[in-house]
Amino acid sequence: MQQNNGLDKSQIISFMLFTIIMVGAMIYFQSKTQKEDALKQKEVAKTEQVSANNTKIASVENVNPNINAASIQTVPLQNEQLKLEVSTLGAQISNVELPEYKAYDAKRDESDLPLLLIHKNSANYGFEFKDKTGKIIKTKDLVFTPSVKGNVVTMTHQLNGAVIQFVYTLMPKYTVDFKIRTKGLSQITSDNAAKFAWNYNVRNLEKGRSQEQTHSEFSYAFNNYKDYDYDGNKAMDEPDETLNWIGVKQQFFSSVIEAKNGFTQSKGSQVTVDEGEYLKTLEFSGNVAMNGAELNQDFTWYFMPLDLPLLKEYNKNFDEILPLGWSFIGALNRWFFMPMYNLIAGWGIAAGWVIFLMTVVVKLILSPVMFKQHKLSAMMRVIRPEIDEVNEKYKDGDAMKKQQETMAVYRKAGVNQMAGCLPAVLQVPIFYALFRFFPNFIDLRGKSFWFAKDLTAYDDLIKLPFHVPLLGEHLSVFAIACTAVILIYTILTAGNMQQPTAPGMPNMKVLMYIFPVTFLFFLNTSASGLSWYYFVSNAINIIIILVIKYLILDEKKIHAQIQSNKEKPAKKEGKFGKRMREMMETAQAQQAAQKGNTKNINKKK
C-alpha cells in the first residue's frame, strides 16, 4: 500500500505539464458540458413545466447494462449544507456533496476537491422481495419517473399494476426524509418483509490512507437508541437486535440511515481496498416489515460531519459515532480537551499554538505530581554512589540483604520510590485520550501549522525515494523532533536506573533508549498534532529537570545530609516501609531455613 510518491526533477516537470494539459481539457469539456446542460434545462422546463425554483434534470452514467442510459436521469436537491442528486435508476441518492468542506487531493497535496461522500454510483441501495412466482424483485434495478415540487422529489414506478413511490424531502442541515409508499403490491407478492440491501464504497477523502481506513467502519444503534456498537475489522451480525439506525462512518463524516420501525436480521461485511479511489467496501442487509404485503415505511438519511455538538442535537446517540474512547478516556476528551481547545481557539490564535497552550495547561495541572517525579529523579542521581556501594558490598552475597540495605539508603535520603509511579499512571489515560483526540477532532481538520498542512494527518516534508516498512515513503519532521526530545529526556533520566546484576536479566537502559526510536515508527503516520503536543510536553519535561538540577536541588547538600544520616539513629519507619521490611525479613528467614534443611538432608545422605 502506497501513500505518497517521491518525485525527481524530470517527474515533477512531466507531472506539471500533464496537470496543465488535464486542467485545460477539464476546463474545455466542463464549459462545453455546461452549455449542453443549459440547453437541456430549457427543454425540461418546457416539457415538464417545472417551477423556476427547480434546477435541471441531467443524464447520468448507466450502471445497469440492461437499461437504456437515456432513460436514466438525476434530480438535484440542495441546501447550504448538502448537494444531492436522486437517480431515476432505483430511485436512490446517487451523489452526496458537503459544500462546506473540501477533500484532500493527493496529486496537489492540497485539500481543495469537492467533498463527495457518494459519487458516480459509489454507493447503491434498494429493497428486495419475491413475487408470487418466486422471482426476486430489486427496486435498485427499476427505473422510476421523477416529480419535483420545491424540496420534495417523488419517484414513481408502475410494477405490473402496482405502484411504488419513493419520496425524498430535503430537510434543514444534513437530513433527508425518505418515505416508501406502495399500492397494489399485495397483488404481486405475499412477503411479510423486504430486505434492505446497501452497498457502500468508502471514498478516500483525507490525507493518510491507512489512518482513514482504520477509522472507516459500520456503526449502529439499537435498544430504542440506547445502545451503540461498531464493527471495524470483521463481519457484523445482529440477528436478535432491532437496529434503529445503521451508518458507515469515515474519519470525519458519516452516512446514516434511520428506520423508524427498525432493521431486523441485520448482517454486514467489509473488505479493505489496498489502493485507488476507495478505502473499503461495506455491504449491509436488514429486513423491514411489509404490512399486508405492502411496503409502507419511513426512513431518514443523514449525511453529516462528525461534529460533537451537531451529533448531540439529533438526540439519537449519534455522538457515539465519534470514537473518542471508552469510559474515562472518552469523558476526558468530551469534557476537558475539546472544551479547552475551543476556549483557547476562541482567542483567534493558530491551531498549533492552541495545542502548545493546551500542553502547558496540562503540565500546570499535573505540576505537583510531576515536580515530585522530577525531583525524585534528581535525588536518585545524587544517591547513586550510595547504591553502588551497597551493590559492591553484596555483589557476591545475600541478595535479600542487599535489597534491605538499598531500601535503607532510600529511607535515609528521604526518597520514596513509589512516588515515581503516580505520574506514570496518570500519563497513560492522557496519552490514549490524545491518541483519540487529534485524528478525530473535526475542528482541527485542515488546520495547518508550520510545515504540517493538516494537524489531523502526518506531515511529509521529507519524502523518501523508496518505501520503508512501517515508515512509508516519507519522514515526519514533527515525529523526528518528538523522538529527539524523548531520547534527550531518556538520557537525562536513565542514569538513575539501577542495572540488573542477575545473569540473563535485560539491560533496562538499552530498552529505554530503543523505545524513542520505535516511537518514531508510530508517530510517523500519526496525526502531526499528536507529535507536536508530545514534542512540547517532553521539551517542558527537559526544562523542568534542568531547573531542578541547577536551580532548586542542591546535590552536595543532599549528599552531605545522607552521610550525616548514616551516623544518626534510623528514623521511624512508615507503615508501607515497615511492611516491606517485615516481608523481606520473613522471606530471608524462610530462605535461611530452606538452606538449613537442604544441608541436613545432604548430611543424612
Kindly state the average pLDDT of the residues 472-486: 87
- Give 406-426 pLDDT, tens digit per residue: 777 777 666 666 655 666 677
pLDDT band at 95 (very low <50, low <70, confident <90, very high): very high
The pTM (predicted TM-score) of the whole model is 0.76
**76 three-class SS:** strand
First to last CA, the chain: 69
Residues 6+ apart with CB under 8 A from 482: 519, 523, 531, 532, 534, 535, 538
Question: What b-and-e string marks burial along 202-222, b requiring 16 or more CB atoms within 10 Å of the CB?
Answer: bbbbbbbbebbbbbbbbbbbb
Q: 115-159 pLDDT, tens per residue?
A: 999 998 899 999 999 988 889 999 999 999 999 999 999 999 998
Strand partners, 84: 77, 96
Determine the pLDDT at residue 13: 40
Note the pLDDT of residue 136: 92
CA distances from 147 to 32, 73, 152, 350, 437 (A): 28, 12, 8, 48, 45
Length of the chain: 605
Three-state SS for 467? strand
Cα atoms found within 13 Å of the Cα of residue 120, Cβ hemisphere only: 3
Selection from 521, 353, 343 nearest residue 450 by Cα:
353
Question: Which residues are CB-contacts of 76 (< 8 A; sequence separation ≥ 6)?
Answer: 55, 56, 57, 58, 83, 84, 85, 86
**Residue 178 DSSP SS3:** strand
For 576, residues 6+ apart whose C-beta sits below 8 A from its C-beta are 418
Higher per-residue pLDDT: 151 or 471: 151
Q: Which of 34, 39, 43, 37 is nearest to 58 (CA)?
A: 37
Long-range contacts of 131-135 (CB under 8 A, 24+ apart): 131/160, 131/188, 131/189, 132/188, 132/189, 132/190
* Cα–Cα distance list, 423 to 274, 367, 368, 429, 489 (Å): 41, 10, 10, 11, 15
The pLDDT value recorded for residue 586 is 67
Going by C-beta distance under 8 Å and a sequence separation of 6 or more, which residues neighbour residue 320? Answer: 219, 221, 228
Task: Give the helix/strand (H/E) hosting 180.
Answer: strand 175-183
**How confident is residue 16, by pLDDT bands cut at 50, 70 and 90?**
very low
| Residue-wise burial string across 123-143, b where 16 or more C-beta atoms lie within 10 A, e elsewhere | bbbbbbbebeeeeebebbbbb
* Residue with more model confidence, 34 or 400: 400
In this predicted structure, the answer to whether residue 591 has a pLDDT above a threshold of 90 is no
pLDDT class for 452, splitting at 50, 70, 90? Answer: confident
Structure confidence at residue 248 (pLDDT): 94
State the Cα–Cα distance between residues 212 and 283, nearest whole angstrom: 18
Query: Which amino acid, 223?
Result: N
**Above pLDDT 70, what percent of the chain?**
73
Distance of alpha carbon 257 from alpha carbon 127, whole angstroms: 14
Please, which pLDDT band fits residue 48 given cuts at 50, 70 and 90?
A: very low
pLDDT at 30 over 70: no
State pLDDT tens for residues 200-247.
Answer: 999 999 988 888 988 899 999 999 999 998 876 678 889 899 999 999
Q: Domain spanning 50-323 has what CATH number?
A: 2.70.98.90
pLDDT exceeds cutoff 70 at 592: no
Position 37 scores a pLDDT of 40
Domain boundaries, the chain: 1-49, 50-323, 330-457+528-566
Q: Decide if pLDDT at 264 tops 80.
A: yes
* pLDDT band at residue 160 using 50, 70 and 90 as cut-offs: confident
363 or 354: which leads in pLDDT: 354
- 363 and 340 Cβ atoms separated by less than 8 Å: no
The pLDDT value recorded for residue 325 is 84
pLDDT at 6: 36
**Across all residues in the chain, what is the average pLDDT?**
79
Q: What is the band of 24 on the pLDDT scale with cuts at 50, 70, 90?
A: very low
Residues 373-384 have a mean pLDDT of: 73
Using alpha carbons only, give the angle 8, 9, 10 rounded to the nearest 5 degrees.
95
